[in-house]
Structure 1
């Protein structure tokens, strides 16, 4: 826990006084790590979750850079959803209470354009907004960034999940190259590193997550008879109930058989193997990545390049011959500071493979037992999300912001109910939390996306 105080930072007296009047005295770990670099004007890439105090970190940073006599946009925060943008805007206003002159404006879709134009004409210091609406204002030249000093990408991983990479790139193209760029993300995936390389200059990396250790993955082994292997797998899935799990098989045929058996037994499951056409493979990966399918049964070849964050479990239906492949398989869980689970089934004939794994990892494996399990046709448990298919994509100029706007308009659903958005050439997919599916369908069917009506339905494949 950080013991540093805000008074130790080089802040303007009025800003410091206001921070302390809000009850902020001690810096949270992410503030202690990032604020000194932010105040020095360095670019920062910070790994921090909601609730870590990150908004105050970049909020204090950007407020300390403002020239209050110039009513031009000097700081901009880009957020994935309207709710987050509203929250960030309120927090910056609270931090800025020390002077009446600071103007903070929130620019989001789902609300009328006119009043936003009026506010921009009167002059604004800080803009907080969602990618789609910021794009619109920039294209109409109602928002100008020629005086921008600080750009913040908040919850950048969520923005990439929601398909906003093109929109973010477009928004940043309007900003001066000589600026400070702060990137905040809950995870440190390759796409996040790529965004950083594209838009930041010699960034300082700040992370309050523990680094990845083998101890982040709990490994358990189960000896079973060959004929009871599928029952044992069903038992483990029912017992641990992972929101996302990959089950590895050694052959395409086993992969298909295992997926069919699990589906017949009421699990939300899809198969991923080399015989799938690219179109079907895309659909399978969309549903698994957006958590509207809980179990993916895959071969090693088909799973290459599979990078799903928050994967809760990896299950070896069969152990691979090579212990290096075993380590590679289980390394897909337990990422970004999350605890992972690796469960392995093996028959008596495969015990030599277990011995090879023990030698390779230089630690003995932990054995556990499975209880007898009765396969049935009852649905086991529903995944948290449902995928909606939209009959319009890139060729129709449909962007993620258009879909999000149509879903979260005045009578729509909350942005927090919307998951990943994937845009393909001729269609798009959006993940919606189970409880909001009917309302989301009604929004998209009764409303318009890009001023047009598109066919929308629940995804039927898999």
Structure 2
């Protein structure tokens, strides 16, 4: 009688792999997830649920270790009617009491006041003081203020206040023109709202869309994104905007310009008509105001022009031959005082080429332009923020919303195409009342464009011919 065949997948009895003992238990089941802290893929031994934060091993260890220090202990939280509300540690109640004076006169929850206090902010800027109460009252709003005036917090505070984590649907959407600005806005909103259990998710190009889809499946209360990637999620069915109550167009002049207008209109068609809408920008041309009317209902208009920034920035405009620009740039960089410097070029190729030349000459430089992957862009920005590469050569991608403390000088190596871009470029320095310097090179073939920019700005800048300082070139490299 023939023997029955035996599966080759079973191990012969009495044998086991060297060094391994049978556990008698099944392997622990794991689930794919995305870390709430750093957006990296990870696995966890439980099924992720909407509203429940998930951390990779390194972030979990970091949070656990920091929680062990009494001075830095994070407030615990307990669920109340489905939402997470902070429970004040006994040692921190005095600190919370002091935070009651933060943004006095504006009706905010204690959790939001404490979050603002942790940002070392106590009093609102003019754009915040005039915008936040209207937004909390449910009004649509158009806000215009100089760069560095605190516009992000002006809409981030109302978002933190109105979002309810028990809803477990996207309630607020912030659209921005660049990935870097999306990262910064998301950090501000998360810093304000995380203690209440409100989750914030970024959707931007340049990184795997599956990570974002996993984060959206877990549940996001606030989405901060660029138009192209937001539209990708809508088309793929991974983003539902049917419960959006609060919509923000940051840098509205660019968001409603030809490059983004069609995508923005398509995105807005997925949101409820009854939503609240806010537009913020440093510049608000008439055509933007006219275009915005179709998205707004009887908006409050807040325009801040208190001279906060202009006097803080010294403008130096030089007439220069194209062949002299590189040596002039080196002369300026050699005279730097340790503050970060931002150099603007016109094209991606030109920025790469200029940064490569400076790097070969020994300058600590990074390059930021649209063709970089999101990971590469974040590495460049980390180097710039940390001071490892305090010179950043960039296209106009860095002109919008880039907020790095203490940028001492902006250099327009190539002239921008419009007065709006000029305003946003030089607005990277002299922020929040700090002093700064803006240097602009104007070649003979750019004189006409420079006159147009000055007309658009409504002011004229004195300019002088560049006198090469040959003795300074080559000093102080690195």
**TM-score, length-scaled by structure 1:** 0.48
Higher Rg of the two aligned structures? 2
**TM-score, length-scaled by structure 2:** 0.46
